[in-house]
Amino acid sequence: MKRYLGAALTLALLAALTSCTQGDEEVTLRVLASPELADLEPLLDDLKDDTGVELDMDYRATADLSGARGTSYDLAWPASDRSYLLRLEERGERAARPESTPIMRSPVVVGLTPETAGTLRASSPDGRLSWADIADAAADGTVRFGMADPRRSDTGRAALVGVATAAAGTGSALREQDVSCDRLRGFRSGQTLTAASSRDLIAAYTGHQGEADALIAHESELLSLNASDKLREPLVIVHPEDGMVLSDFPLLLLDPDERTAYRKVVDWLLGGDVQRRLMQHTWRRPVDPDITPAAPLRAPVGNALSFPDRLSIVERLVADYGDPASPTSDQVVFLLDFSGSMRGERIAELRDAFADLSGADATSTGKFAGFYRGEHLTVVRFGGRVLQERTVTVRGDGDLRTLARTVAADSFADSTAVWSALDHGYRIAADAVREAPERPVSIVLMTDGESNAGLSYEEFLRRREKLGADVREVPTFPVHFGEADAAALEKAARATGGRMVDADKSSLSDAFKEIRGCH
């Protein structure tokens, strides 16, 4: 009898164990993941052991998780899902938003070589640095930086949004009008390294440390790099005073049928012990508020910049920035009215405006709007005819002083040939387009009076029409000042694809800053 009872107990125990095993079958989930998350690999075996869920990570640089839905991926794990969710909203698929859980956080910051950090902080009254300071230093050649390609990398996109938001100076999320006149040309001129992902960017930097003085990436990546033995000396990590975009590395459920396994993974990742291990191993900040941050993570994030609320704004910003691997330099033709009415206070204001663009304006917006290294600038002084023309490529302060001397000239004319001057400007533009078709060209026309000499507006349009399609795409940005004919200038702006700015509502300096970078 005892023998039969023992056999029955053994069978019952085996049945219970079999039932338990069947209820906890191992599951493999395929994950589209940011390349940055490759540093989680040492923890994934523990995840499998503790939950029975294996994550098959496919590391791809994709800023908006393009093609993630409707594929074989069960989950997505980007640095940020903002662009992806905006794309769903644009398609009218708001109800299709997947379940998403933030796992850890890291702001996009700047890592500077110690020498460069010392140079920049020495010129800052309080030693603190902003995106505007970085942009200003990039524009004059002091800083050469690396940043992942914002067309492909969510890290690069977050960095670009952060810089552009700071440049707009509104203190809020980017709007359409902030992007149409972005001030990132000077900043972009300092980029010397890029890659499809920030992970690849850092790998490129470690092998070519002499090619850049700065890296723009997540705080976690820079801390990890500093902790390695790959640098000549650790980077100084700067949290820009004008704000940062914060990534929360969300885990997204793409296949609703895998919700049970997804919840197991999320619960494991959010557990206190695992949050602590994530922080210690990856240098990302825990989302669990009860965990004491490691010493390098105790610096406050500060002002977290808002991401745009429309995909079109992000796409326009990324398109305007272009391919970071391709060098770019604009050409701007300034047509400046030196008729008699400009004598006195008006010409003094014009000279001050050029001084501000040459570096005298130390405000945040002034640093983003200044002339930059490599930019091609032509100044034409005109009255009833062209009085003087001077072109420089900015390589240093000497070139800016050349422009200052041109604007400082005291010769004035008795008449104002606005449309003849604009015709002359388009012939300069035609030469520039032929010389370098890839270079953006724009014309700035500043006048304080009505045209009373030279070509008529209609004759100017006829001549412009004959210059070719490429030249006709060059926009004119008229600056209305004093008694200028606002209606005529507005008409010229619309005809050429530019827009008019009214300096009487602010100042010439503000007007010139407003049109910087508009293409």
Reported as type and span, the H/E element at residue 331 is: strand 331-337
Mean per-residue pLDDT of the chain: 89
Question: For the chain, what percent of residues have pLDDT higher than 70?
Answer: 93
Q: Fill in the amino acid letter for 62.
A: T
CA atoms within 13 A on the CB side of 160: 32
Place of tokens 């006709």: 472
Count CB-CB contacts under 10 A for residue 54.
18
pLDDT at 70: 56
Asked whether the domain spanning 331-515 has the same topology as the one spanning 2-104+248-296, the reply is no
The crossing angle, in degrees rounded to 10, of helices 219-227 and 198-207 is: 30
Reported as type and span, the H/E element at residue 138 is: helix 131-139
pLDDT tens per residue across span 57-90: 999 877 777 656 656 899 999 999 988 888 888 8
C-alpha span between 411 and 414 (Å, rounded):
10
Superfamily of domain 2-104+248-296: Periplasmic binding protein-like II (3.40.190.10)
pLDDT category at 24 given cuts 50, 70, 90 is low
Domain 331-515: give its CATH code. 3.40.50.410
Reported as type and span, the H/E element at residue 351 is: helix 345-355
pTM for the full predicted model: 0.82
Reported as type and span, the H/E element at residue 81 is: none
Count CB-CB contacts under 10 A for residue 119.
15
pLDDT at 55: 98
Which residues, 6+ apart, have CB-to-CB distance to 100 below 8 Å? 81, 250, 251, 252, 253
Which of the following CATH numbers is that of domain 106-246+301-321: 3.30.43.10, 3.30.1950.10, 3.40.50.300, 3.40.190.10?
3.40.190.10
Reported as type and span, the H/E element at residue 43 is: helix 41-51
Question: Where do the structural domains in the chain lie, given as residue ranges?
Answer: 2-104+248-296, 106-246+301-321, 331-515
pLDDT tens per residue across span 238-248: 999 988 899 99
pLDDT tens per residue across span 146-203: 999 998 888 888 889 888 888 888 878 888 877 765 578 889 999 999 999 999 999 9
Lowest mean pLDDT among 203-217, 355-369, 426-440: 355-369
Q: What is the mean pLDDT of residues 312-332?
A: 85
Tell me how far CA of residue 511 lies from CA of 351, 427, 444, in angstroms: 13, 24, 10
Q: Are 436 and 481 in contact (CB under 8 A)?
A: no
pLDDT at 91: 80
Highest mean pLDDT among 269-278, 326-335, 509-518: 269-278
C-alpha span between 79 and 63 (Å, rounded):
9
As a whole number of Å, the end-to-end CA separation of the chain is 94
pLDDT at 14: 42
Radius of gyration for the alpha carbons in the chain, expressed in angstroms and rounded = 29
